[in-house]
Structure 1
Amino acid sequence: MNHIHIFTDGSVNTQSKTGYGAYFAIADLVTPIETLKDAVKVKRFEQTSSTKLELQTLLWALNETYETINLTDAGDMPLVIYTDSQNIMSLPERRARLEHNHFFSSKNKPLNNYELYQEFYRLHARLNCRFIKVAGHSASHQKDEIDKLFSLVDRSSRRALRENR
């Protein structure tokens, strides 16, 4: 069975609350990195934070990827998602508790980003996703092939943020 590998990352300016998310999706992890630089997609997000941006970027990537695969096979096509976001990594295990509490905090206030969490769970229910935590920002000599691929989205989002201040 084929897999789609999705790499996502984001960089945000906390003062302006503007951020850039970056992602790319590939079917073959042995694709030469030089050929993937043009495959990275970058998008600007307004009124965001680092946690929100990581989730916005993932949802954007999942929605675009979902549109490109055969909808009847979407649940069967395994997606492997690479992220450095601890929040995203914890979302699958937090689902039951968040839904049980109707996305409200212990102080009975709606959680920040609850709408994004709900969208995440809707997509997650339709797609066959597995999440892999990437260290991110590792020294070059410590990077394996996955880290090198992840660097493409890391660098792209940071570059977009620098160039568009």
Structure 2
Amino acid sequence: MDKLYLFTDGSVHVQSKVGYGACLVLDENEMDTENLKQRIQTKRFENTSSTRLELQTLLWALSEIEKNDIKVLVYTDSQNIAQLVDRRARLEENNFCSKGGKLLKNADLYKQFYELFDSLNCKIIKVKGHQPTRVKDHIERIFSLVDKASRSALRSKN
């Protein structure tokens, strides 16, 4: 089974609720190639928050992947996304509602995530974001390019 490596991150301007998501998709043969910066895609999202933006960016990136026999390794620094797989049973059992019965803020995106997650063979891997370069491994260095791209897009286009 072939593997795809998906790196996603987002940056949001809290006051305007505008954010930019960034993603990079690589196959096993491209992990050591140069010029990865040019391959990073960005997308603008409006009326969003940091948590919502991370989900929106991941959903956008996953929806671009063809659903064939591929293992997708998703790298994110989002604690929320990293915990979604473990939270699934409880979220579905409660119909994506809080203990008080109120629909969760991002219930729509959680549902979309689980649908896409089921249609693809995904594994979510949490990376430590914003570390000094000297302690980053190869994956974390690639992730930092995506992180910088989302922040740069927000600064230049907001």
The one of 144, 153, 156 aligned to 1:160:
153
Deviations 1:71-116 (CA, angstroms, capped at 9, x unpaired): 4x2xx31000000000000001111111110011111110001000
Identity of aligned pairs, percent?
A: 53
Distance 1:115 1:27 in 2: 30
Deviation at 1:30, TM superposition (A): 3.0
Which residue matches 1:85?
Answer: 78
CA–CA distance in structure 2, aligned partners of residues 50 and 38 of structure 1:
24
Matched, 1:16 2:16: yes
Kindly tell me the number of residue pairs found equivalent between the two proteins. Answer: 157
Determine which of 113, 137, 140 is the counterpart of 1:144: 137
Gapped regions of structure 2 (runs ≥ 5): none
- In structure 2, the partner of 1:46 is 46
**Equivalents in 1 of 2:130, 2:92: separation in Å?**
33
1:139 & 1:2 partners in 2: Cα distance? 32
1:111 has 2:104 as partner = yes
Matched residue, 1:56: 56
Q: Aligned partner of 1:4: which letter?
A: L
Give TM-score, length-normalised by structure 1: 0.92
Q: Aligned equivalents of 1:152 and 1:141: distance in 2?
A: 15
- 1:30 and 2:23 matched: no
In 2, Cα distance between the equivalents of 1:125 and 1:140? 35
CA distances 1:3-57 after superposition (whole Å, capped 9, x unpaired):
000000000011111000000100025332x321111000000000000000000
Q: Aligned partners of 1:2 and 1:11: how far apart in 2?
A: 30
Task: Note the alpha carbon deviations across 1:106-153, whole angstroms, 9 max, x for none.
Answer: 111100010000000111111110111110111011111001100111
User: RMSD of the TM alignment (CA)?
Assistant: 1.0
Once residues 132 and 102 of structure 1 are traced to their aligned partners in structure 2, the CA distance between those partners, rounded to angstroms, is 26
Runs (4+) off by over 3 Å: none
**Distance between the aligned counterparts of 1:162 and 1:57, measured in 2?**
17
> What TM-score, normalized by structure 2, do the two folds share?
0.96
Could you tell me which amino acid in structure 2 is paired with residue 31 of structure 1?
Answer: D
SS in 2 for 1:104: coil
